Amino acid sequence: MPPELVLLIVNAVLMAYAYLWVYPALPRKTWGAILWRDTVISLAAVGLAAALYWGTDYRFSLILFETNWLIFSVLTLFTIETPLFLWFARKYNLSFDD
């Protein structure tokens, strides 16, 4: 399995876990509650990427350019999470006032 696919699967699974189980289970859905949990889950994703690819010279392809595991992991995580967050915020009427 290509390393890019491995990290995409790791990121997708962790985001599915966050947005389909962790965040909906919050008794009070606020920016702060989501932010600190999202930080922990995002660090877990980057930590798994580090455990798999730290110290390797493998170049990850992002179609337009190649990069290392860290940049690839963070950019793909952000790309996967953005539409999920927008969906979640709309569904639960999150506002910046919270």
Domain assignment present for residue 8? The answer is yes
Number of domains within the chain: 1
Domain assignment present for residue 96? The answer is no
Domain assignment present for residue 98? The answer is no
Nearest to 77 by CA among 48, 45, 52, 49: 45
Domain assignment present for residue 97? The answer is no
For residue 70, what are the domain limits?
3-91
pTM for the complete prediction? 0.87
pLDDT digits (tens, 9 = 90+) for 58-95: 999 998 999 999 999 999 999 999 999 999 999 998 87
The C-alpha atoms of residue 11 and residue 42 are separated, in whole angstroms, by: 8
Scanning 25-68, the segments in alpha helix (DSSP H) are 31-53
**E strand or H helix that includes residue 61:** strand 60-61
Nearest to 23 by CA among 73, 77, 79, 86: 86
pLDDT digits (tens, 9 = 90+) for 12-71: 999 999 999 999 999 988 888 899 999 999 999 999 999 999 999 899 999 899 999 999
The C-alpha atoms of residue 80 and residue 61 are separated, in whole angstroms, by: 16
